[in-house]
Amino acid sequence: NFWGLRCSGCVASIPAQKRLARKFKEQEVVFLGIHTADGEMSQIKKLLQSEQWTTPTGIDRGTSMLDSVTGEKYGIQGYPSLIVINPEGQITFRSDVDPPGDREVFMKTLAEASGVKWPPAENATQTEMIEIMNQLQYTLISREIERVLNAKH
């Protein structure tokens, strides 16, 4: 999970991240957080503690999100970016690139699998939108992790 404190979408997605970690707790899945290079560990720890988010998190090398060493090596396009890596070290999914095919069809299919309405209501509150996006992220990343786990067997 490439993320940053200054990224509201990153912070808003913490509930989905925590749910994923709980779901795969007993399986051979490791979750890591890589904060943008411009973070301060004291502030990151404060957020992790207040959110009761136990994912091991480090700060990328560099001076900002624009020159984060690990982010550059992985070709991160934006934040948050979630990457699934299989046991052989191959990237099998990345959230920062558009899905193949028609994006709207992809979103509608993902929403159906997530049990949420797509597109969201025009008058949806910010809280409702965060809940919808967290559910979509949870479903998408769960599916991708399960794909990797099932490929092992």
User: How would you write the pLDDT of the chain (153 residues) with one tens digit per residue?
Assistant: 999 999 999 999 999 999 999 999 999 999 999 999 999 999 999 999 999 999 999 999 999 888 899 999 999 999 999 999 999 999 999 999 998 899 999 999 999 999 999 999 999 999 999 999 999 999 999 999 999 999 976
- The span from the CA of 128 to the CA of 124, in Å, is 6
Helices (H), 7-125: 8-12, 14-23, 41-51, 69-73, 103-114
Residue type present at position 31: F
pLDDT of residue 64: 87
3-state secondary structure of 59: strand
Cis preceding-peptide flag for 119 (omega within 30 of 0)? yes
pLDDT of residue 153: 62
pLDDT of residue 122: 94
- The span from the CA of 95 to the CA of 140, in Å, is 9
Task: Report CA Rg, the chain.
Answer: 16
Helices (H), 52-125: 69-73, 103-114
Tokens 């720890």 belong to: 45
pLDDT of residue 66: 85
Per this entry, what is the length of the chain? Answer: 153
pLDDT of residue 33: 97
